[in-house]
Amino acid sequence: MYRQVVILCLGFFAFHSGHAQKPQQPLSGDLVIFHAGSLSVPMKEISAAFKELHPEVNIMMESAGSVECARKVTDLNKPCDILASSDYKVIDNMLIPKYAAWNIKFVSNEMCIVYTEKSRFVKQINVKNWFEILQKKEVAFGRADPNADPCGYRSVMTMQLAEKFYKKPGLTNLLTAKDVNYMRPKEVDLLALLESQSVDYIFLYKSVAIQHNLKYLVLPLEVNLKDPKFTDLYNTAVVTINGKEPGQKVTVKGEPMIYGVTLINAAPNKPVALAFLQFMLSKEKGMSILEKNGQPSVIPQQNPNFDNIPATLKPFAVK
């Protein structure tokens, strides 16, 4: 009798323990990510690493200018789980609160003048004369469209800050009026122009130059939108771009470059999206891939929407 009671008790314990330790269902389904063009290389690597852990997840990524990414959600109502922008303010201004509830700042970058060995005046260009070389008739340069991509309005801000730093009145107008036919919707579209030698130089993020093994000219900190110590100076650079509504204009002020990422409120696959974001923002996982690709971490940053951030992602922000 005693032996039967013991067996029954053990069976009962095993049954309930089994239920308590029931393994979670594997992550699966589609995950849709809209991201800035400058994130293309690291996002592919992060997605590949995530899929090794979760092979049943189908990751679908769309690269575009950050403003264009946001408009796919706000204007076109395209299904999207995660949106990563090269300017966190795109998320703040275009998506919160209607389309997203929070925004985590995660990496930084800086503006450079990017070129190849075959660029005209490649032996002469330097930090003191780059703006003079770009003005030469025989030289062509490309930049992103300010209305489609933060790299576009940051390029114009770089010109404005250079005008002050080098004491060259009218420099911005001279540069923005030149080579407008080489303006493209997003910064990575400019790479094809450079590689085909259609242009000699492009305004581009340092990270993209590093990822594509291109030569780049490092600009002064007063010009390159990198250093928080120069925030007040960067704020003096102002560009007007198209707003949310047709005919609406929005003024964008310069500031240190910080990328933002969010979960879309109507995300079709929130469990997978949250797991991906946790992986992407973790120092030893996604962030190590981003830093290897020239995009230094800024985690954690103060966050005005901290209370809205899911518990699993709160460690990546500060209230």
∠ at Cα 115 (297, 124), nearest 5°?
A: 120
- Domain CATH number, residue 312: 3.40.190.10
Lowest mean pLDDT across 22-31, 87-96, 154-163, 213-222: 22-31
Locate 263 and state its tokens.
């979960």
Integer distance in angstroms from the first to the last C-alpha of the chain? 61
Residues 136 and 202 in one domain: yes
Residues 149 and 230 in one domain: yes
pLDDT at 52: 97
Domain extent for 99 = 29-108+258-318
pLDDT at 53: 96
Q: For residue 24, name the pLDDT band (cuts at 50, 70, 90).
A: low
∠ at Cα 113 (110, 115), nearest 5°?
A: 130
Q: Which helix (H) or strand (E) holds 92?
A: helix 88-94
Neighbouring CB atoms inside 10 A of 307's CB total: 10
Largest CA distance in the chain: 101
Residues 78 and 206 in one domain: no
Residues 183 and 301 in one domain: no
Higher-scoring residue by pLDDT: 8, 23: 23
C-alpha 3/C-alpha 264 separation (Å) is 58
Write the DSSP assignment of 12-41 as a string of letters.
HHHHHHHHHTPPPPPP-EEEEEEEEGGGHH
C-alpha 140/C-alpha 135 separation (Å) is 8
Write the DSSP assignment of 145-210 as a string of letters.
-TTT-HHHHHHHHHHHHHHHHTT-TTHHHHHHTS-GGGEESSTTHHHHHHHTTS-SEEEEEHHHHH
Residues 275 and 304 in one domain: yes
Asked whether residue 10 is domain-assigned, the answer is: no
Q: Is residue 194 scored above 50 in pLDDT?
A: yes
Average pLDDT over residues 72-89: 96
pLDDT at 25: 78
Residues 308 and 193 in one domain: no
Residues 92 and 182 in one domain: no
Q: Which of 253, 277, 296 is the last residue of a domain?
A: 253
- Per-residue pLDDT of 123-182, as tens digits, reads 999 999 999 999 999 999 999 999 988 999 999 999 999 999 999 999 999 999 999 999
Asked whether residue 68 is domain-assigned, the answer is: yes
pLDDT at 103: 97
Residues 155 and 206 in one domain: yes
Residues 84 and 178 in one domain: no
Token pair 């198209």 is at which residue? 242
Number of domains into which the chain is organized: 2
Closest-CA residue to 234 (of 133, 292, 299, 162): 162
Residues 158 and 229 in one domain: yes
Q: Which of 205, 227, 253 is the last residue of a domain?
A: 253
